[in-house]
């Protein structure tokens, strides 16, 4: 696939136009990252992590399979070039790894919210195992578990703060129509993580490239070392906002 097709773009409701960011200026840096992953066999290239057992690239070739990685080449206010990097979602249960940009929410708040509710959901799951199929009791507990999961998702989405290059902020719910659900994992792809970090740290984006690394996904639509455009279902609705103000810098 020609690299220039792997564009990062989105419609901005505020400007009524499409904002986009080139991929070509980031290709060489992405290839450097591939070489580092290959050479180090883990994702902490400076040896500073507190979770050395969790950051091996072996993880990408097992049950969990591979994932997307991304780089954003940007310019600091003094004109110096800088490359920042991201992995999509969590890496083997970790949101934060030294040298990689953080997610769009406070990680401490995330675990504070998740842990107690997840514990309750698991407890309900265990209770369900001992109930007669089709019983009223089972139906009631199933409904309770469903409601708890939905509330948890909603609260998790509320933790996300998106920043753009016009110094504006918004939440995920601001960008998705009320009736349309927010897909799981929205905001966790590399492009939103990288753009959000750049916007918060006065970095001017020049190029963004995303590639897959590890064992192919189950549907075999992703292969190691190949560049892919930003996804349409999760990133499509939020990239317009995140890229807004990019040229005015």
List interacting residues with Zn ion (CB under 5 A).
12, 14-15, 189, 231, 234-235, 244
Dmax over CA atoms of the chain, in Å, equals 68
Nearest distance from C-beta of residue 55 to Zn ion, angstroms? 22
Which of helix, strand or coil describes residue 85? strand
Chain centroid to Cα 102, Å, comes to: 9
Residue 121 or 231: the one with the smaller Cβ distance to Zn ion is 231
Nearest distance from C-beta of residue 244 to Zn ion, angstroms? 3
> What are the C-alpha distances in Å from 196 to residues 24, 226, 238?
20, 24, 11
Residue 52 or 185: the one with the smaller Cβ distance to Zn ion is 185
Nearest distance from C-beta of residue 189 to Zn ion, angstroms? 3
Residue 42 or 208: the one with the smaller Cβ distance to Zn ion is 208
Which of helix, strand or coil describes residue 21? strand
Give percent helix, percent strand, percent coil of the chain, each to the nearest 5: 40, 20, 45
Nearest distance from C-beta of residue 165 to Zn ion, angstroms? 9
Nearest distance from C-beta of residue 48 to Zn ion, angstroms? 28
Residue 44 or 199: the one with the smaller Cβ distance to Zn ion is 199
Residue 194 or 206: the one with the smaller Cβ distance to Zn ion is 194
Chain centroid to Cα 59, Å, comes to: 18
Length of the chain: 249
Residue 203: its H or E element: none
What phi, psi does 219 have (nearest 5°)? Answer: -80, 5
Residue 14 or 215: the one with the smaller Cβ distance to Zn ion is 14
Angle 67-226-56 from CA coordinates, rounded to 5°: 35
Can you read off the two tokens belonging to residue 117? 């509710």
Nearest distance from C-beta of residue 32 to Zn ion, angstroms? 22
């Amino acid at each position: 696939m020609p690299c220039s097709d792997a564009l990062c773009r989105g419609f901005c409701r505020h400007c009524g136009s499409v904002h986009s960011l080139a991929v070509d200026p980031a290709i060489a840096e992405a290839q450097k990252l591939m070489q580092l992953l290959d050479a180090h066999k883990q994702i902490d290239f400076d040896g500073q992590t507190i979770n050395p057992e969790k950051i091996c690239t072996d993880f990408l070739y097992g049950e969990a399979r591979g994932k997307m990685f991304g780089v954003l080449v940007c310019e600091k206010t003094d004109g110096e070039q800088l490359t920042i990097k991201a992995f999509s979602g969590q890496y083997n249960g970790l949101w934060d790894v030294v040298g990689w940009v953080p997610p769009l929410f406070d990680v401490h708040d995330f675990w504070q919210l998740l842990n107690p509710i997840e514990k309750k959901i698991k407890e309900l799951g265990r209770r369900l195992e001992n109930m007669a199929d089709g019983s009223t009791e089972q139906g009631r507990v199933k409904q309770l578990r469903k409601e708890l999961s939905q509330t948890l998702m909603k609260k998790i989405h509320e933790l996300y703060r998106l920043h753009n290059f016009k110094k504006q902020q918004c939440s995920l719910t601001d960008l998705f129509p009320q009736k349309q659900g927010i897909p799981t994992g929205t905001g966790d792809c590399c492009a939103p993580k990288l753009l959000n970090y750049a916007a918060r740290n006065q970095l001017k984006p020049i190029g963004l490239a995303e590639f897959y690394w590890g064992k192919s996904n189950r549907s075999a639509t992703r292969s190691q070392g190949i560049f892919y455009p930003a996804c349409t279902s999760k990133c499509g609705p939020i990239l317009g906002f995140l890229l807004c103000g990019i040229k005015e810098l």
